[in-house]
Structure 1
Amino acid sequence: MKRDTILKSFQATGVWPMDAEVVLQRFNNHTLEQDKALEIGQHGDGDSWIHLRKLFDAAVADKAKVEAKQLSAAVHSLQTNNDILHTKIDGLRSALLTKKKHNTRSYTMDLHQNEQDTGGAVFWSPKKLRDACAREATKRDEAQREKLQKREAREAKAAASFLKKQHAEEAKAERQRLKEHRAVAKKAAAEERDAARARKKQQQQATTSQKSHDRPNKRTRETSHKVDKIPAKRRRVAAPRSQPEAAPAPPPAPPKSTRTRSIRAPKKYSE
């Protein structure tokens, strides 16, 4: 390679003479028009109320009009709300970045280094890298499988709980239905008993009224017969008190035989 070509390459890359702008210009792809449009689009953001006021003063000739004052107040209000919203957005972004930083975990690939003493030198071959990638893929698959199993277990548990709750509700509804049926049957039986009692009472009342209706005639007939059959009173003759009263007759002797066996009379009856 020639000396001039080397120097040109140094100059093109900014190595010598040292110039960082040569490299930075390659990353700056914005044209002049894009920069102007970006600058115009930034009006209203941040602390640009002064620029908006200058643009308003340049655009409006008569600022004493009511419309001009209303426009100025509206622009000022919009700019204030814009500043507040930008402040909130910046705070949310910073909080989100902080949360992402907290959730970030370090990842180190396990290459299964041998325990041999190599003097501190470690050689990573493509085969070791492929083996490590395969092990990591297996770990990820196992973790995914465990997550899937846990999710299926949760779904099965939720389904079992739902079925249990549904069966409990159905059993409760069945118990309530049987209870209502028993209550209706009990009420019907009570009404039937009351009706039977009422009929029996009515029959008893009818029988009593019939008896009471027939009883006066019978009593009148019996009374008339009794009046005719009353015998005349007889005079009693008192016995003389000097005669002793006769002793009561002895009881008859018991029978001497029955259908199947003979009975021996007591001694006092045999004398």
Structure 2
Amino acid sequence: MAHGFKSSNQNFIFGPWTVKAVKTHIMKSKDIERLADEMQMPSLPEMLFGDNVLRVQHKNSFGIEFNAKDALQCVNNLQDSVKVACAQEWQESRSDCEHSKEVVKRYDWTFTTDYKGTLLGDELKLKVMPTSDRIDMEKLKTREQIVFFEEVLLFEDELHDHGVSMLNVKIRVMPSSFFILMRFFLRVDGVLIRMNDTRLYHEADKNYMLREFSCRENRMSNFQHIPPAIYTDPNEICQYLPLNLLQCEKLEFPENMSESQITETPQTTEPEQT
């Protein structure tokens, strides 16, 4: 963790939406162990930011948020997803933890998650529908003023010095839209690199969001001609990871919303910090 880290709690108003980004300190070991017991997992990431959250919520209460605890609920805690020699070594290194003294259980020690966010709201909720519509990435590449940007780390683990497993989420808000990217990045040294991305895009005059979830993976044995320096850069290594899965969804607004509630002119206020 960087020296001089300061907790932050930001709220940014974008039309009928409130963007909330909370960044605070890593959970204490005893709290991580207690949570592992509750989730029935032998172990959790070493650096777990259980109170960090990125939330986008409509004034009618529906919306979506991204947090570490819900992400870890999507980890397969019944089996290993990567079977390598160091996996057993890594698990045994944590066998003296209070919650795993009796037996070192098999589980996904890489913390691979297919989490796509947590839908908010009780009576009103976003309706998830499959779609063939795609996020216009070329449009996102055009130069447009960014009125708010934030990146939130949810968890990170160095896999007992055998690589890294990390989940973070970032948002950028433009005058007419917002774009969210949540990325799970896994590097098991000498074995593979895996990347699960969730992209969410909303234009202010639309009554829906577009969400794309993709899974990419490649074994390091296929990287002979790739400079090792880029193994640690998700943006660079991405082009060398074949696409294994793509899910496109439309997150439709509740049907009983009025036109004015959908098309309310976005505001570009300064973020409120606490």
TM > 0.5: no
Higher helix share: 1
Quickly name the TM-score band, shorter chain normalised.
under 0.3
Larger-Rg structure? 1
Higher strand share: 2
- Structure scoring higher RCO (CA < 8 A, sep ≥ 6) equals 2
Structure-2-length-normalised TM-score: 0.16
